[in-house]
Amino acid sequence: METLLICYASRDGQAAKIAGRIAARRIGGVVQCCDLSRRQPAAAELAGAGAVVVIAAVRYGRHLPEAEHFLQREAAMLKRKPLAIASVNLSARKPGRHGAEGNAYLRRWLARHALQPALATAFAGRLDYPRYRWFDRLMIRLIMAMSGGPTDPAAVVEYTDWAAVDAFADALGRLGERAGDAQRPRM
Ligand SMILES: Cc1cc2nc3c(=O)[nH]c(=O)nc-3n(C[C@H](O)[C@H](O)[C@H](O)COP(=O)(O)O)c2cc1C
């Protein structure tokens, strides 16, 4: 079975948790995880992957810089691979904000890197006011007030739809299988 390389960028742990859930779901398959804040994948690791998934959290309107760096650095290689992209943000907690049409972060992300991945989605992340520094807490409360979300400074809400994450993981499995079929010589 093809190796799935999961590259993720996370600050508060939710994108990492999503990456872990996808890795665990891939029963019997080979999975390599790469925390982009610690290291960028080696060229051989990337070349050997049957499919690549990039998962990155949004902070103040931008995906985390290590994910941006990875996509810029490996643009050429990633265009030759089955690729899947997942943006993690709080905008996606609302209905209709999972696809590129409804989620501006995801749409702009794909456009910025001229990506045409086989799968692209936005997952709702986690709101955790007690964890945030005072300035971030203030800013997120303002954003939540404007978008109809919780503003209680004690609020902790995990919005992630785990069934959607599992469905994404299953679709990834099928992607890897198709890529493997295409690479196998026909008899
Ligand atoms: C400082 C900060 C800024 C954020 N900015 C945005 C934002 O601009 N838009 C949004 O939808 N979510 C925003 N979020 C929500 C995060 O995307 C969400 O909490 C996500 O789960 C973070 O992923 P992580 O836990 O992997 O870091 C922000 C969160 C923090 C703490």
Q: What is the pLDDT of residues 1-10, one digit of tens each?
A: 589 999 999 9
Rounded to two decimals, the pTM is 0.94
Report the length, in residues, of the chain: 187
Q: Among the residues of the chain, which ranges form H helices?
A: 14-25, 43-48, 65-73, 75-79, 104-112, 134-147, 162-183
The 10 Å Cβ neighbour count of residue 9 is 25
Residue with the nearest Cα to atom 14 of ligand 1? 59
Q: CA–CA distance from 51 to each of 80, 174, 176 (Å)?
A: 10, 10, 6
Phi, psi of 32 (to 5 degrees): -120, 130
Provide mean pLDDT across the span 75-88.
Answer: 94
Residue with the nearest Cα to atom 2 of ligand 1? 59
| Residue 27 clears pLDDT 70, i.e. is over it | no
Report how far ligand 1's centroid is from the alpha carbon of 15 (Å). 10
Mean pLDDT score of the chain, rounded to an integer? 92
Distance from C-alpha of 169 to C-alpha of 88, rounded to nearest angstrom: 15
Residue with the nearest Cα to atom 1 of ligand 1? 136
- pLDDT value for 116: 92
CATH number of 3-125+160-183: 3.40.50.360
- Compute the C-alpha angle 58/62/68, nearest 5°: 100
- pLDDT value for 182: 44
Using a pLDDT cut of 70, give the percent of the chain over it: 92
Which range, of 96-100, 169-173, 181-185, averages the lowest pLDDT? 181-185
Where does CATH 3.40.50.360 sit in the chain?
A: 3-125+160-183
| Residue 185 clears pLDDT 70, i.e. is over it | no
